[in-house]
Amino acid sequence: MRFSKYIHSRLIKIYKNKSYGLHEPCFSNLEMKEIKKCIDSTFVSTAGYNTKKFEEKIKNVTKSKYCVAVVNATTGIFVSLKVLGVKKGDEVLVPTLTFIGSVNPISYCGATPHFIDLSVNNNFIDINYDKLDTYLSSIVKFKNGNSINKNTGNTIKAIVPVHLFGHPSDMSKCLLLAKKYRLKIVEDCAEALGSIFKKTHVGNFGSTGVISFNGNKIITTGGGGAIITNSKKLYKKINYICSTAKIIKDHKIFHTEVGYNYKMPSLNASLGLAQISKLSFFLKKKRSLFKKLYSIFRTDKDTQILREPLGSISNYWLQTLILNQKNRKNQRQIIKYLNNKGILARPPWQPIHTLKPYKKCPKMPLKNSLKISSSLIHVPSGASVI
């Protein structure tokens, strides 16, 4: 209890007895104006103009060549994997410490998640690519240009690196690993709009990158996501199957394959148009919040703040405390205490390989991810905090 009070006494310097959600959206009259304009136009569905406008805005921010706005990031990852040929009998590498939306799309394809470990280095969490390389070299045999898991007989087809809490993963190492083992890359950028790795916006390194605009993200469309890519061929295929694989000819509608009704409605996009105009402001506010937290915990031996890696720029979507080994056992107690005091803190997700649907999936040793999961506490991170 004493340590819980100590953490609270540090955080109260920032939150000042105000009650904040973990990550609340920030709205103004601008959102209402954009939504009203859309409603007045009557074009509120996927046939509306705002969806295309929003896609153009995302392209401008990310510097990607193509963008398809979709109903959520989970569908974006699913479609990305599907068009890259992931199917039944394949395995896809994915961190165990992530949101379930990174993993379920693998199952939607009929493929199997293959869980990989994370590590903490200089208060930054990322896939341990060196450890993963060693692991893969021990289980992979190459056949017909594919990496075959010697233990399961399945093809290891792709990797889904996650830019966790908005902090860029080391895409240089990811690209080298993918080249060595002939893997497709689908970047999970759900939390990372505005995050930069080596002067390039995340999502531009893999075949596709997938961004989320859920209500708790740095900008929101209510529900929604976007697939970005620099491949014209992939863009055409993704946009086509997300639009029910529809062709209109002589005023008749044809569907040439099984497609999906996944395009973002114009009404959601109208909210996004207002939100994305404030992105620079949100990024500044969130970095300012990080700096305040960092100044408080910088010299603390028991607790540190998760921060961006060298050479990267994070959007600091979710501010995260890291407890040292001695205090990991207090994680739940601290979270309960903070919530009772009006500071809505939470632990990270449960490692996916521990959940019922995924317990039997292949995995590398994951002890680091288990330790990390018990060491993290997320604290209120919305742009409205300061």
* CATH number of the domain residue 311 falls in: 3.90.1150
CA neighbor of 164 nearest in space, from 316, 354, 322: 316
Distances (CA, A) of 96 to 93, 102, 274, 277, 364: 9, 9, 34, 34, 10
Same domain, 216 and 295: no
Quote the CA–CA distance of 211 and 94 in Å, as a whole number.
Answer: 17
pLDDT value for 68: 98
Structural domain of 329:
2-26+279-350+373-378
Same domain, 287 and 139: no
What are the φ and ψ backbone dihedral angles of 219, each rounded to 5 degrees?
Answer: -130, 155
Looking at the structure of the chain, the number of domains it has is 2
Quote the CA–CA distance of 117 and 75 in Å, as a whole number.
Answer: 24
Close Cβ partners of 187 (under 8 Å, ≥ 6 residues apart): 160, 161, 163, 169, 171, 202, 203, 205, 206, 208, 209, 210
Quote the CA–CA distance of 201 and 58 in Å, as a whole number.
Answer: 11
Residue pair 241/79 in contact by the 8 Å Cβ criterion: yes
pLDDT value for 97: 97
In DSSP terms, which residues pair with 363 in a beta bridge? 115
Residue 366 counted as domain residue: no
Q: Domain boundary residue among 230, 253, 277?
A: 277
pLDDT value for 5: 93
Same domain, 49 and 170: yes
pLDDT value for 36: 97
pLDDT value for 29: 96
298's tokens: 């910088």
pLDDT value for 251: 85
Same domain, 161 and 14: no
Residue pair 244/45 in contact by the 8 Å Cβ criterion: no
Q: State the pairing for strand pair 196-197/200-201.
A: antiparallel
Average pLDDT along the chain, 386 residues, taken 10 residues at a time: 90 88 94 97 92 98 98 98 98 98 98 96 91 98 96 98 97 98 98 97 98 97 97 98 91 91 97 98 97 94 92 96 92 95 94 97 97 96 89
Quote the CA–CA distance of 262 and 198 in Å, as a whole number.
Answer: 32
Residue 359 counted as domain residue: no
Residue pair 362/151 in contact by the 8 Å Cβ criterion: yes
Residue 364 counted as domain residue: no
Same domain, 264 and 293: no
Helix (H, G, I), strand (E, B) or coil at 304: strand
Residue 124's domain is classified under what CATH number? Answer: 3.40.640.10
Same domain, 130 and 78: yes
Q: Which DSSP string corresponds to 179-230?
A: HHHT-EEEEE-TT-TT-EETTEETTSSSSEEEEE--TTSSS--SS-EEEEES
Residue pair 220/34 in contact by the 8 Å Cβ criterion: no
Same domain, 310 and 251: no
363's tokens: 């995995």
Residue pair 119/128 in contact by the 8 Å Cβ criterion: yes
Residue 345 counted as domain residue: yes
pLDDT value for 157: 98
Residue pair 22/344 in contact by the 8 Å Cβ criterion: yes
Cβ atoms within 10 Å of 137's Cβ, excluding its own? 10
Residue 54 counted as domain residue: yes
pTM of the model: 0.95
Residue 228 counted as domain residue: yes
pLDDT value for 48: 86
What are the φ and ψ backbone dihedral angles of 128, each rounded to 5 degrees?
Answer: -85, 85
Q: State the pairing for strand pair 90-95/112-116.
A: parallel
pLDDT value for 385: 86
Q: Which DSSP string corresponds to 76-102?
A: HHHHHHHHTT--TTEEEEEESSS-GGG
In DSSP terms, which residues pair with 68 in a beta bridge? 227
Same domain, 320 and 290: yes
What are the φ and ψ backbone dihedral angles of 212, each rounded to 5 degrees?
Answer: -110, 145
Q: Domain boundary residue among 251, 277, 303?
A: 277
Same domain, 179 and 303: no
Q: Domain boundary residue among 259, 277, 295?
A: 277
pLDDT value for 200: 98
Residue 130 counted as domain residue: yes
pLDDT value for 88: 97
Q: Which DSSP string corresponds to 115-154?
A: EE-EEEETTEEEE-HHHHHHHHHHHEEEETTEEEETTT--
Cβ atoms within 10 Å of 17's Cβ, excluding its own? 8
| Digit-coded pLDDT (tens) for 258-268 | 999 999 999 99
Same domain, 271 and 291: no
Same domain, 15 and 57: no
Same domain, 166 and 48: yes
With vertex at residue 197, the alpha carbon angle to CA 194 and CA 203, rounded to the nearest 5 degrees, is 65
Residue 104 counted as domain residue: yes
